Amino acid sequence: EKGGYDHFMMKEIYEQPNVIKDTYRGRLNANKGIVQMAGIEDNIEKFLNAERILIVACGTSWHAGLVAEYVIEEFARIPVEVEYASEFRYRNPIINKKDVVIAISQSGETADTMAAIKLAKENGAFVFGVCNVVGSSISRESHAGAYTHAGPEIGVASTKAFTTQITVLTMLALRLAKAKGTLSNSDYHRYLMELEIIPEKVKEVLSTNDITKEIALKFKDSTNCLYLGRGYNFPVALEGALKLKEISYIHAEGYPAAEMKHGPIALIDEQMPVIVIAPKQGHYDKIVSNIQEIKSRSGKIIAVVTKGDTQVRELSDYVIEIPETSDALSPLITTIPLQLLSYHIAVLRGCNVDQPRNLAKSVTVE
């Protein structure tokens, strides 16, 4: 049942090229310039009239929401706010009839996310669910939605659910951009093409498995770890840190790289592994200078870089090379080596990877 892998988590990491394809199958056709999902087509006016989009979720799904904030705002120019469902539901938030609320949940059973949806509905908002489990409570409670087609996710640490959530939300952003004319024709088509070949790139980046295992051997006894990224890769840094915490029990923090100097830089010494997501796109020069700041304080640098990069390589103790992708789609690629790294560290520490202590796959109580 684990398909020859030692753990469900590894099986699910390796399923990602296929399940991303399953998620866009029948919805995305780059040659024809089409991206469509029934739940959006049927309600396109709601999205186009929205004064803002509010995203509610927990944990890894909340991280997918953060990626979506960046993608939707950039592509479709609709203001987006992302909230932890548990905070949203208890803080008497302002919800307007013209708000579209997107609830993201792998299980579709998370109690706080469910309560956030109910509150949004009571206040007249339109609720769109992005769930993996078909027929789940959240998918039923939403006015409309789009399923991720990741298949059953057994490992408690979410992997393929995250990348398929990002796939759905990127398609949503592209669909809205097309309707609103907020992306140039050439950019729109380029993103469609790129999204269609993302599974090939994910396959390619899975070949970093050996190097991540080597890195895991070096750092398995660390007590702390920092993850840094900027722009689209800031949420990926948060997700990388969460993955390490939950399965290896190593304390880890994710930060936007530029926030380092506002506090966390005080933690850096030769004992501190710092994982920096530094692809060639986006804020490359800025992140290079952040890496120099870490280097000058003797931090151990593990960098995720675009294939062929030399500048970051020179500054780093270890590099993990990934294929080139545009900035907006890079989370689908950069997140993979971080999943592998957490997996190998947890295995080397003898942790129960698929069933980490104190955690449940679906959190049906608040």
Q: Which residues are known to be catalytic? A: 361
DSSP class of 260: G
- Binding part of the chain for ligand F6R, among 58-66, 143-151, 223-231, 284-292 by CB under 6 A, reads 58-66
CB of 215 vs ligand F6R, minimal distance in Å: 21
CB of 362 vs ligand F6R, minimal distance in Å: 5
Q: Which of 9, 10, 40, 59 binds ligand F6R (CB under 6 A)?
A: 59
Q: Which of residues 347-366 bind ligand F6R (CB under 6 A)?
A: 362-363
Contacts of 366 (CB under 8 A, 6+ apart): 86, 111, 112, 115
CB of 200 vs ligand F6R, minimal distance in Å: 25
Residues 303, 319: contact at Cβ < 8 Å? yes
- Judge residue 194's burial from the number of C-beta atoms within 10 Å of its C-beta, 0-12 exposed, 13-18 middle, 19 or more buried: middle
Q: How many residues would you count in the chain?
A: 366
Q: Which of 86, 158, 167, 316 binds ligand F6R (CB under 6 A)?
A: 158
Q: Which of residues 224-283 bind ligand F6R (CB under 6 A)?
A: 242, 246
Q: Which is nearer to ligand F6R, 315 or 363 (CB)?
A: 363
CB of 289 vs ligand F6R, minimal distance in Å: 31
CB closest to ligand F6R, residue no: 59
Q: Which strands make up the sheet holding 52-57, listed edge to edge? A: 80-84, 52-57, 99-105, 126-131, 144-147
Under DSSP, is residue 36 helix (H, G, I), strand (E, B) or coil?
coil
DSSP of 108-155: S--HHHHHHHHHHHHTT-EEEEEESSTT-HHHHHSSEEEE-------S
Question: Does residue 222 interact with ligand F6R by CB under 6 A?
Answer: no
Residues 80, 248: contact at Cβ < 8 Å? no
Q: Which is nearer to ligand F6R, 67 or 278 (CB)?
A: 67
- Which residues here bind ligand F6R, judged by CB under 6 A? 58-61, 105-107, 110, 113, 157-158, 242, 246, 362-363
